[in-house]
Amino acid sequence: MAIPNRLQNTAKGMLNRARRLGLPVQGAERLGERLEPLAIKHLSRYVIPFVRRSGVHVNELEPGRVVCTMPLKGNVNHIGTMYAGALFTLAEFPGGPLMLATFGMKRFIPIVTALDLEFVKAAKTDVSVELTLTPDEAKRIEAETLAHGQAEFELRGELKDANGEVVARSRALYQMRPRRR
């Protein structure tokens, strides 16, 4: 899970510094809110070195939906197809940006409790995955987490090669918890 705490802290630090300098920060705060999704999209992969090294990329991000791509280059196995661990990272990592974009950065912490991967065929190109969370499911997760201190949910993904063929299927189980104040 890539929750850019460091990004958030960096942004907070910049705002605090601006306040100490007596600068008008209200505009900056509003700007920060507008830049947050953009920051998540472009910077979340830098938060976990293992993820950054893989070269995975967030293509599209909005509340309830994320699309990521793992390059074949640098991620081949001994027979030149995509290494299973790169497929795992592609299945796991996007859940972080998706939940940040859906629930915001401040209220909840998602914890991955299991991830099952089925390898369908060898991947000989870059591989992409789209993960979605319906508004109803997002509302249920939010309500249960607030009411009971936790909520369980799953994300299923189809990992597809450049020709649209499924190379792997993933099922990730998560537990959502409130962020400690």
Q: Which residues bind its own copies (CB under 8 A)?
A: 1-6, 47-51, 53-54, 74-79, 83-86, 88-89, 92-93, 96, 111-119
Nearer to its own copies, 50 or 163 (CB): 50
Closer Cβ to its own copies, 92 or 161, answer by number: 92
Least gap, CB of 37 to its own copies (angstroms) = 18
Supply angle C-alpha 88, 126, 103, rounded to 5: 55
Write down the residue that tokens 């008008």 correspond to.
Answer: 24
CB of 21 to its own copies, least distance (A): 29
C-alpha distances in Å from residue 162, one per residue of 60, 68, 94, 107, 151? 16, 13, 18, 36, 35
Question: Token pair of 171, please?
Answer: 């099922």
Q: Smallest gap, in angstroms, from Cβ of residue 22 to its own copies? A: 33
Looking at the Cβ atoms of 83 and 153, the one nearer to its own copies is 83
- Residue closer to its own copies (CB basis): 83 or 103: 83
Summarize the chain as % helix, strand, coil (round to 5).
Answer: 40, 30, 30
CA distance 20 to 59: 37
Q: Output the smallest distance, CB 71 to its own copies, in A.
A: 11
